[in-house]
Structure 1
Amino acid sequence: MLTLAALLAAPALLLSGCGSSSGDAAEQASAKAAGAASPAAPAAYPAVQVTAAPPAQALTLPGELESFYQTDITPRVSAYVRRVNVDIGDHVRAGQVLAELDAPELTAALSEALSKQKAAEATAQGSRGSYRRLRQTSHTAGAVSPLAVDQARTLAASDSLAVVAARAHYRAAAQMAAYLRLTAPFAGTITERTAAPGALVSQGGAPLFKLKQLNPLRLRVAVPEAYVGEIQNGNPVQFTVRAFPGRTFTGKLTRTAGSVQAATRSEQVELDIPNPKEELKPGMFASASLPVQARANSLFVPKTAVVNTAERTYLIRVANGRTELVDVQLGDENAGQVQVFGKLRAGDVVLKSGSEELAAGQPVQVAMR
């Protein structure tokens, strides 16, 4: 049997347990609220140090092969195609007739001009003969009046000038008729043909042929501004193309543009490429290795650290816990690293992944990688 004292103590114990549970829950809720109210620590940006290393002595740059000369063969007169003498892939020599056109009105104009020239020459010959006879007769006193001699001399001079005009007119008509024969301006290969016998072509219309010179070729390469001072004409340059894996071709640097393009900050250079077997084709992409002089150590950063915008190219340097935007120029690339030129020193801390969202003077925390 429970005693009276035990019965009286039970309610007190129950009330005590409930009070303790309620107190613990309140304390836990208060702790959670306090934790939510406390600010979270800012995230740290991955950062790296600017490294110094010797630059490459050979600069590998992409380029494109182009024909040394190329032109579109376009008709200069409106006519019908009478005969096509060449096709795609044919090798032609300078002056070779590629196609013949037919325009009866030009042929008729040439015949008319020739007739007028012959008539003018005959008239001038008769006038000169009359003048010579009158001049000889004038030596006999009273045989011919001086006025008649002067008139004969004037007529002979006028008819001579008419011959000059007729000959010029004939040469013009002959030149127009010569346009009916389309010829090659230089030796090369026909790479495109649209002409067909019977087709009507017009002056300044679509080209009938595309002619390209395949030996030698040109290789055009854009050299970054940082290396412009080290490029010299006459240097041999080796390059490769995908069409011939494992083979290396050689050309000579012959021409430089003499101007740096503002859009790409590079100078266009050209190499002459001997192509006696015509293995290389215009339009092929090439990877050229341009020799450059060895210089002092250069600064390198990961390519991801560079921020490129329409206005500038820069890195985000962190000094004293704040960001600084440092303008740079880019150089050679190698294994994910890019050469940079600017107000930097080896050991400077820059963000590994640059972003336009970070402004100058912004406080940041970094984690070195």
Structure 2
Amino acid sequence: MNTAHSFFQSILGACLLTSVSFLASCGNGDTKEVVTEAPVKEMPYDVVPVTGAQPTRSLSLPGELDSYYQTDIYPRVSSYIKRLHADIGDPVRAGQLLAELEAPELTSALSEASSQLKASQASYSSSRAAYHRLLVTSRTAGAVSPLNLEQAHAKALSDSLLVAAGRAHYEAASQMAGYLRITAPFAGVVTERNLAPGAFVGPGGQTALPIFKIRQLNRLRLRLAVPEAYVGSIHLHDSVGFMVRTFPGETFTGIINRLANSVRPETRSEQIEIDVPNPKNRLRPGMFATVSLPVTAAKSSLFVPRSSVVSTAERTYVIRIVNGRADLVDVQKGDESGGQIQVFGSLKAGDVVLKAGNEEITNEEPLQVELASR
């Protein structure tokens, strides 16, 4: 028992001696090799300048295509349709004969007017010749009395007036008879033909239907209403693009040629017209179009990267850097384009703001910054 206890004490003493020796060795010159961590250098914040530009964007508006010219063809006189020379879908040229009408009373009136004109011309020719003979004879003293000469002159003058009246009557009758031939007022396409030969037609509401409807298709008008807020951005002769559902993915172009120069009170918009060439007649009157209208602000606006704007429940701001310190500037957001956002506030072009806003940065906090590469 005493032997075991002595053995245990000798082992414990050896262990303690070994530990003391190890600690002593650690306390010598080896302490010079202990590595301590250096403080981490703060990374600088990226900054960008505030830029000024005129914001241009595209305003999408609905519009409707219409013929450049269109008209309903009604008869000018009471008559019957004799022949039709055009039908629906036919292209026509200006002055082309579309229909012939018949009205016997107009033909008779023209013949009567022609006969009266010829009779008055013959009478005037005779009286004028008689007057000239008397005038030559009157050169011989006492051959012709002055009264007879005056009577002959008055007769010739009266007959000349009858000729003028007869000619006017004939021209009026000829014009009325000319209404029996209906011609196209302009080049276009017949889009409606409502009556057939034998139908009675006439002015004054005797028939409610036009004989033809003609529309010009090779040139169209695109009408649309521009909201009052964008009226100042619309300029004559600007090019405008638009699309129609009939040809998805295809863009057509036109030129702004007419402005109403008046805002309609009921819609608070201005009517504009865009001329659209349509040489192949692919577009049709009545089609709805989606117009991409470029609008530009009248004055320059300020833009910053979208990431620069910090939005919280209390405010919206950007972090401007002034003399190495943060300056939180309240702004209002506008339009976005290409990663840039329009801002309104106490900023000016050339101010430097953080490229990436941070809610943890406080006002007047010193910051290390560097200009970000674009």
**Is TM more than 0.5 here?**
yes
Q: 1:260 maps to what in 2?
A: 263
TM-score by length of 2: 0.64
Aligned ranges 1:158-173 → 2 under 5 Å: 158-173=158-173
Correspondent of 1:226 among 229, 250, 256: 229
Q: What is the CA–CA distance in structure 2 between the aligned matches of 1:246 and 1:134, rounded to whole Å?
A: 89
Report the secondary structure of 2:139's partner residue. Answer: coil
The reply to whether residue 283 of structure 1 matches residue 286 of structure 2 is yes
Q: 1:76 maps to what in 2?
A: 76
Superposed CA offset, 1:232-284 (max 9, x none): 01110000001111110000111100100000000000000000000000000
Q: 1:356 maps to what in 2?
A: none
Report the secondary structure of 1:57's partner residue. Answer: strand
Aligned ranges 1:89-168 → 2 under 5 Å: 89-168=89-168
State the shift of 1:195 in Å: 2.0
The residue type equivalent to 1:139 in the other structure is: R
Would you say the 8 A contact 2:188–2:216 is kept in 1? yes
**Stretches of structure 1 lacking an aligned partner (at least 5 in a row):** 1-53, 299-331, 335-344, 347-369
Would you say the 8 A contact 1:63–1:222 is kept in 2? yes
Q: 1:341 maps to what in 2?
A: none
Q: How large is the RMSD of aligned CA atoms in angstroms?
A: 2.0
1:333–1:184 Cα change, 3 Å? farther
Q: What is the CA–CA distance in structure 2 between the aligned matches of 1:258 and 1:292, rounded to whole Å?
A: 17
Correspondent of 1:215 among 218, 223, 229: 218
Q: 2:244 maps to what in 1?
A: 241
Identity of aligned residues (%): 61
State the shift of 1:296 in Å: 3.8
Superposed CA offset, 1:14-42 (max 9, x none): xxxxxxxxxxxxxxxxxxxxxxxxxxxxx
Q: What is the CA–CA distance in structure 1 between the aligned matches of 2:201 and 2:335, rounded to whole Å?
A: 51
**Stretches of structure 2 lacking an aligned partner (at least 5 in a row):** 1-53, 304-333, 337-343, 346-374
The residue type equivalent to 1:107 in the other structure is: T
Would you say the 8 A contact 2:68–2:217 is kept in 1? yes
Superposed CA offset, 1:130-183 (max 9, x none): 000000111111111000000100110010010000000000000000000011
Q: What is the CA–CA distance in structure 1 between the aligned matches of 2:131 and 2:335, rounded to whole Å?
A: 87
Q: 1:47 maps to what in 2?
A: none
Once structures 1 and 2 are overlaid, which stretch shifts more, 74-83 or 199-208? 199-208
Q: 1:311 maps to what in 2?
A: none
State the shift of 1:292 in Å: 0.9
Number of residues paired by the alignment?
A: 250
Q: What is the CA–CA distance in structure 2 between the aligned matches of 1:93 and 1:203, rounded to whole Å?
A: 25
Q: What is the CA–CA distance in structure 2 between the aligned matches of 1:269 and 1:333, rounded to whole Å?
A: 25
Aligned ranges 1:257-336 → 2 under 5 Å: 257-294=260-297, 296=301
Q: Bigger radius of gyration, 1 or 2?
A: 2
Superposed CA offset, 1:50-105 (max 9, x none): xxxx9761111000000000000000011110000000010000001100001000
Q: What is the CA–CA distance in structure 2 between the aligned matches of 1:116 and 1:173, rounded to whole Å?
A: 12
Q: What is the CA–CA distance in structure 1 between the aligned matches of 2:273 and 2:285, rounded to whole Å?
A: 14
1:79–1:333 Cα change, 3 Å? farther
Aligned ranges 1:326-365 → 2 under 5 Å: none
The reply to whether residue 199 of structure 1 matches residue 206 of structure 2 is no
Q: What is the CA–CA distance in structure 1 between the aligned matches of 2:255 and 2:57, rounded to whole Å?
A: 18
Would you say the 8 A contact 2:56–2:294 is kept in 1? no
The residue type equivalent to 1:288 in the other structure is: V
Q: What is the CA–CA distance in structure 1 between the aligned matches of 2:289 and 2:176, rounded to whole Å?
A: 44
Would you say the 8 A contact 1:71–1:212 is kept in 2? yes
State the shift of 1:202 in Å: 1.5
Would you say the 8 A contact 1:84–1:195 is kept in 2? no
The residue type equivalent to 1:203 in the other structure is: P
Would you say the 8 A contact 2:55–2:296 is kept in 1? no
